[in-house]
Chains A and B, each alone.
Chain A
Amino acid sequence: MKRLIQLKVNDEIYEVAVHPHRTLLEVLREELDLTGTKRACNVGDCGSCTVILEGKPVVSCLTLAVEADRKDILTVEGLAQDGEMHPLQKSFVERGAVQCGFCTPGMLMSAKALLDENPNSVEDEVRTAIAGNLCRCTGYVKIVEAILAVSQQGG
């Protein structure tokens, strides 16, 4: 049986009727057309589907949409403000940290959650924060540099 749930995504309220077996990832992509959040491993290993739920990064592929009812969700589409990229997005572009681009949304969300909590994170903390985000291009160095550059500006 479908349930009517209310998701607050990027400060917009969406009311959707969903079956309980739908994941938050599926509902974001397929019902709300927010396809910035990527599906890759689909079992919580790769971090491509990372979103920020109530201030904390989680994998949306293992989150039931019904359990996100009335929760505050931030996806990659919510990073830019008034047509301006978020400092993390700018830094990724400037430093070539976007490679094939598939892990990028998840990396950005993990980085955003880290800097929200600790705007002056050091390299170890950055690496720990993105340990759950796999980059198959394997170019972690530029990603770490891009996050650190924003961190040095105090988030």
Chain B
Amino acid sequence: MRLPKFEYLDPKTIEEACSLLSQHGDKARLIAGGTDLLIIMKHKEVTPEYLVGLKGIPNLDSIDADAEGVRIGALATLRSIGDSAVVRERFPFLADIAGKMATHQIRNMGTIGGNICNAAPSADTAPSLICLGAKAKIVGPKKERIVAVEEFFTGPGETVLKAGEMLTEIQVPNQPAHTGGAYLRLTRLSVDLAVVGVAALVTLEGKGGLCKEARIALGAVAPTPIRAKKAEGVITGKKIENGLIEEAAQIASEEARPITDVRGSAPYRTDIVRVLTKRAIRQALEQAK
């Protein structure tokens, strides 16, 4: 099983990469870590004539923090995000999953940009980024635009990226005080894709206070990662107690629209959403206190 033939292009700037994408249209694909793309190319599911390699573009893998938040370059590896002191400090649950996904080797190769642009419904970084209100910086041949990660996915493997556009950065805003988050997932093996992933983020009005804001995002149970907004509504504005957590978890499971596949049946996934949502809210609440 070998890769089909292609020409390899290695732009030195983002502008050059966009212009190559525009020039070659559907015949070209960007390659970041390659850990998703090269597999489907070996299976001949996609056979691009051109691969546009991004590793030669300076600073596309940098992680920079300022008073607004953290900007994670699209080429930052999962490993570097998991190890990043600033990501661990400000968004510990994001660092935690980046440091746990797949295997050691794949974390050294796979990038956050690739995880997002591959747009698998089970993309492990997506639910946490959605809860954190992260934004995607997209650069095209003529202009830049910013899209919420929540709005980035349009279907399995499909995104809002248009011809000639590329994701260059994920911007994660700093969170208010008394905010806590958690991402929990069920996998068959620790190195495997998520059967279900649930992220929860809770902001309290002061220590032990009412829930000012809640976000819950679900992975692997719909064509894209989704928000469970009705479940969020159950706990928002209230003092989060066990009964409410149970209710929110039940409603989140009703918001999920899972399919049955090799990793799990739809009814099983639905129930796992309930279980993981309950646990994720509890953990987020602990962190927020």
Determine whether the beta carbon of A57 is less than 8 Å from that of B3. Answer: no
Looking at A8-16, A18-26, A94-102, the stretch in contact with chain B turns out to be: A18-26
The residue among B2, B8, B55 with the most chain A CB atoms within 10 A of its own CB is B8
Q: How far is the CB of A21 from chain B (nearest CB, A)?
A: 4
A76 within 8 A of B: no
Q: How large is the interface on A (under 10, 10 to 19, 20 to 34, 35 or more residues)?
A: 20 to 34
Mask of B1-14 contacts with A, CB within 8 angstroms, 1/0:
11111111010000
Residues of A with C-beta under 8 A to B35: 44, 59, 62
Q: How far is the CB of A57 from chain B (nearest CB, A)?
A: 5
Determine whether the beta carbon of B105 is less than 8 Å from that of A50. Answer: yes
Determine whether the beta carbon of B79 is less than 8 Å from that of A132. Answer: no
Query: Measured between alpha carbons, how far is A20 from B7 in the docked complex, in Å?
Result: 6
Query: Measured between alpha carbons, how far is A57 from B34 in the docked complex, in Å?
Result: 15
Which A residues, 20 to 70, have Cβ-Cβ distances below 8 Å to chain B? 20-23, 26, 42-44, 47, 50, 53, 56-59, 62-64, 66-67
Majority SS of interface residues in chain A? mixed
Query: Measured between alpha carbons, how far is A55 from B125 in the docked complex, in Å?
Result: 25
Query: Measured between alpha carbons, how far is A67 from B32 in the docked complex, in Å?
Result: 11
A90 within 8 A of B: no
User: Taking CB as reference atom, which chain B residue is nearest A26?
Assistant: B2
User: Taking CB as reference atom, which chain B residue is nearest A60?
Assistant: B105
Determine whether the beta carbon of A131 is less than 8 Å from that of B190. Answer: yes
Determine whether the beta carbon of B38 is less than 8 Å from that of A3. Answer: no
Query: Measured between alpha carbons, how far is A109 from B103 in the docked complex, in Å?
Result: 14
A128 within 8 A of B: yes
Query: Measured between alpha carbons, how far is A142 from B222 in the docked complex, in Å?
Result: 42
B42 within 8 A of A: yes
Which A residues, 60 to 87, have Cβ-Cβ distances below 8 Å to chain B? 62-64, 66-67
Which B residues, 1 to 38, have Cβ-Cβ distances below 8 Å to chain A? 1-8, 10, 31, 34-35, 38
User: Taking CB as reference atom, which chain A residue is nearest B192?
Assistant: A45
Query: Measured between alpha carbons, how far is A110 from B108 in the docked complex, in Å?
Result: 12
Determine whether the beta carbon of B109 is less than 8 Å from that of A132. Answer: no
A149 within 8 A of B: no
User: Taking CB as reference atom, which chain B residue is nearest A113?
Assistant: B104
Query: Measured between alpha carbons, how far is A148 from B31 in the docked complex, in Å?
Result: 37
Query: CB < 8 Å: which of A22, A42, A63 contacts B109?
Result: A63
B102 within 8 A of A: yes
Determine whether the beta carbon of B6 is less than 8 Å from that of A57. Answer: no
Query: Measured between alpha carbons, how far is A21 from B106 in the docked complex, in Å?
Result: 19
Determine whether the beta carbon of A20 is less than 8 Å from that of B6. Answer: yes
User: Taking CB as reference atom, which chain B residue is nearest A23?
Assistant: B3
User: Taking CB as reference atom, which chain B residue is nearest A128?
Assistant: B104
Determine whether the beta carbon of B6 is less than 8 Å from that of A21. Answer: yes
Query: Measured between alpha carbons, how far is A33 from B55 in the docked complex, in Å?
Result: 27
B167 within 8 A of A: no
Determine whether the beta carbon of A131 is less than 8 Å from that of B7. Answer: no
Q: Which 10 residue pairs across A and B have the least CB separation, nearest first?
A: A132-B103, A20-B8, A21-B3, A56-B108, A59-B105, A132-B105, A43-B39, A62-B38, A21-B5, A57-B105
Given A62-B34, A63-B109, 16 extra CB contacts under 8 A: A1-B7, A3-B8, A20-B51, A23-B2, A23-B3, A57-B108, A58-B109, A63-B34, A64-B31, A64-B34, A64-B53, A66-B8, A67-B53, A131-B103, A132-B103, A132-B191
